[in-house]
Amino acid sequence: MSAPRQPDEAMNRAMRLCWWQIGWFVTVVAVMGVVMGQSQTMKTAWIEDMLGFVPPIAFLVAARMERRPRSARFPFGFARANGLGFFVSAVALTAVGALLLVNALMTLAMAEHATVGSMRLFGHDVWLGWLMLAAQGYALIPPLVIGTKLLPLARTLNDKLLHTNAMMNKANWLTGAAGIAGVVGLGLGWWWADAVAAGLISIDIINDGWKALRSSAAELIDGAPRALDKPEVSPDARTLHATLDGRFPGATILMRETGRLIHVEIHGVDAPDPVPAREELWPCGGDSAWRLAQVTFTDRPLERDRYQELFSPGERQAPRQHRPGR
Amino acid sequence: MKKRVAVLSLLLSLAGCDALPRDPGGTLDRVRQSHTIRVGLADDAMPQQARALLAALAQQEGARIELRRGSLEPLIVDLDADRLDLVIAEVAKRTPWKKLVAPGPTLLVHGEGSERTEWRALMKNGENRWIMQVEQTSRAVAPEAS
């Protein structure tokens, strides 16, 4: 089977967007840093913006590494760089949610009354809250725009690292919105407002982060391919398994994922002659056949086990009852 | 879209009528109702700039100054417990009290480098309208120091 040809245009577009994201985020971090003062909410939002750099940088580094040819020290190439970046980004996203939640709970528990004073600007005394609102309003725009553009690309490329980046952007603009509510709340004398808003939003972010963390950990330890946005086995993998099962009855079929690519081992059958084309084996449309990176045949049978039950029709009805590893 | 317009209108109206910020503990409202500003002084004497600050605040709010002398720590406890509205003190540049209170702009500086001390008004954290008013007045009476 020849090397898979991935959609270059979508990949290049995703890389351009990540560079734009880094550029925009530098300006956001600078503006937020200037006006944050002693506000804990603003400091948290600022730290979160800093963590927002992790997914695009991880994606760009992984994309660069993936293109390197295999070497003596890395004989299987660098396709797993994407998976490693996915794991790092998932940790960053979960950390953002956890940071936000801990900060909100501590603010509420200690009944901290945040001080937002004034500063002299062009000869006028201006309440710092207005500048914070302007900064937070500006900080909303880049993640909202870039996150919206990243999502369809993540689906086209089936790239979980890119999807986590889109989720991080969502987390950033949601936190920005909570920050605006918080500063207005502080201004109105409701010291608890920003902590409550941030606490509610942190639960959503932790949920996204936890799902990404489970999927990325599964990928790193050769778990079956996971869906883009949840840690369940992906529909593509199920369809592929069913197709191969029909074509090679009695064989044991193992699948794993390295970044965007799926690798398959078919145990218990001889390799067919001629070897079928990738498009012939991939059941989910020719446009995405590049995802099937490798199919290995070995005539030594492998005992059918609980992994196989995962893909049996009965199991599809109740997938949580017999998961592998339980 | 309607929601965004409503939020924007609310923000603009809040900006226009100077409604923000407000005090969660209502310090400025209390000063205006009682016509009294309760001040703690953490020293025997007070520099001219601090006297000017108190005089200007009293004039702005039509209030009289009720002065109480004492050590800095008990005065900060009273400030936090709403028994004082303001503390005037000479503090080191790196004083740990900065996290427990909201220090206003510098009124007067003594010394240099690590030996530098600053006369400031200290307010209760979070009383943002009152803090803003004291900050504005401090900058007006001691523009060189701040």
Q: How far is it, in rounded angstroms, from Cα B23 to Cα B82? A: 12
Average pLDDT estimate for A162-170: 91
Share of chain A above pLDDT 70, in %: 90
Q: How does residue A4 score in pLDDT terms, banded at 50, 70 and 90?
A: low
Q: Is residue B67, in this structure, part of any structural domain at all?
A: yes
Q: What's the CATH number where B100 sits? A: 3.40.190.10
At A180 the pLDDT is 87
Q: How far is it, in rounded angstroms, from Cα A257 to Cα A87? A: 13
How many beta carbons lie within 10 A of that of residue A243, not counting itself?
16
Q: Is the peptide bond before A55 cis (omega within 30 degrees of 0)?
A: no
Interface residue ranges in chain B relative to chain A, Cβ cutoff 8 Å: 11, 14-15, 19-26, 102, 124-128, 131-132, 135-136, 139, 146
Which of helix, strand or coil describes residue B69? strand
Tokens representing A266 are 């078919």
Q: Is residue B133, in this structure, part of any structural domain at all?
A: yes
Q: Are A227 and A233 spatial neighbours (Cβ–Cβ below 8 Å)?
A: yes
Task: Show Cβ contacts of residue B72 under 8 Å, excluding neighbours closer than 6 positions.
Answer: B42, B87, B89, B91, B97
- Nearest residue of chain B to residue A190 (CA atoms): B24
Number of domains into which chain B is organized: 1
Q: How far is it, in rounded angstroms, from Cα A206 to Cα A237? A: 27
Question: Model confidence over A122-150: pLDDT tens digits?
Answer: 888 899 899 989 988 998 899 999 999 99
Q: Is any Cβ of chain B less than 8 angstroms from the Cβ of A92?
A: no
Please state which CATH class domain A8-220 belongs to.
mainly alpha
Ranking A171-175, A200-204, A306-310 by mean pLDDT, the lowest is: A306-310
ipTM, 2 dp:
0.82
Full DSSP string of A131-150? HHHHHHHHHHHHHHHHHHHH
Tokens representing B49 are 């700039």
Q: Does domain A235-317 have CATH number 3.30.300?
A: yes
Mutate to test the interface with A, among B128, B131, B138, B141 (most CBs of A within 10 A): B128
The answer on pLDDT for A5 being more than 50 is yes
At A179 the pLDDT is 81
Q: How far is it, in rounded angstroms, from Cα A65 to Cα A69? A: 9
At A75 the pLDDT is 92
Domain positions in chain A: 8-220, 235-317
Question: Model confidence over B56-102: pLDDT tens digits?
Answer: 999 999 999 999 999 999 999 999 999 999 999 999 988 888 778 99
Whether B132 and A115 lie within 8 Å, measured CB to CB:
no
- Tell me the HSE value of A62 on the side-chain side, using a 13 A CA sphere: 27
CA nearest neighbour of A14 among A159, A142, A212, A140 = A159
Mutate to test the interface with B, among A42, A108, A110, A113 (most CBs of B within 10 A): A113
Q: Is any Cβ of chain B less than 8 angstroms from the Cβ of A129?
A: yes
CA distances from A289 to A1, A156, A260, A265, A294 (A): 12, 12, 11, 17, 11
Whether A115 and B125 lie within 8 Å, measured CB to CB:
yes
Q: Is any Cβ of chain B less than 8 angstroms from the Cβ of A117?
A: yes
Tokens representing A103 are 């900060």
Which of helix, strand or coil describes residue B89? strand
Strand partners, A267: A252, A298
CA distances from B124 to A107, A112, A268, A318, B67 (A): 16, 11, 76, 59, 17
User: Residue B104 sits in which domain range?
Assistant: 21-141
At A1 the pLDDT is 58
How many beta carbons lie within 10 A of that of residue A159, not counting itself?
27
The answer on pLDDT for A17 being more than 70 is yes
Whether B20 and A191 lie within 8 Å, measured CB to CB:
no
Q: How does residue A174 score in pLDDT terms, banded at 50, 70 and 90?
A: confident
Look at the alpha carbons of A48, A52, A54, A57 in this order and tell me if their dihedral is positive or negative.
negative
The answer on pLDDT for A322 being more than 50 is no
Full DSSP string of B38-63? EEEESSS---HHHHHHHHHHHHHHT-
Q: How far is it, in rounded angstroms, from Cα A52 to Cα A167? A: 10
Backbone angles phi, psi at B116, to 5 degrees: -70, 130
Rounded to 10 deg, the angle between the A193-220 and A40-51 helix axes is 20
At A325 the pLDDT is 36
Q: Is residue B50, in this structure, part of any structural domain at all?
A: yes
The answer on pLDDT for B14 being more than 60 is no
Query: Where does residue A213 rank: exposed (0-12), middle (13-18), buried (19+ CB within 10 A)?
Result: buried
Higher local confidence (pLDDT), A95 or A195: A95
Higher local confidence (pLDDT), A301 or B125: B125
The answer on pLDDT for A316 being more than 50 is no
CA nearest neighbour of A220 among A73, A58, A81 = A81
- Nearest residue of chain B to residue A37 (CA atoms): B102
Average pLDDT of every residue of chain B = 88
Q: Are A136 and A179 spatial neighbours (Cβ–Cβ below 8 Å)?
A: yes
Quote the DSSP letter at residue A259: T
Tokens representing A176 are 């920005």
Q: Is residue B16, in this structure, part of any structural domain at all?
A: no
Per residue, the 3-state secondary structure of A233-247, as one string, reads ECHHHHHHHHHHHHH
At A319 the pLDDT is 39
Strands A124-127 and A118-121: antiparallel
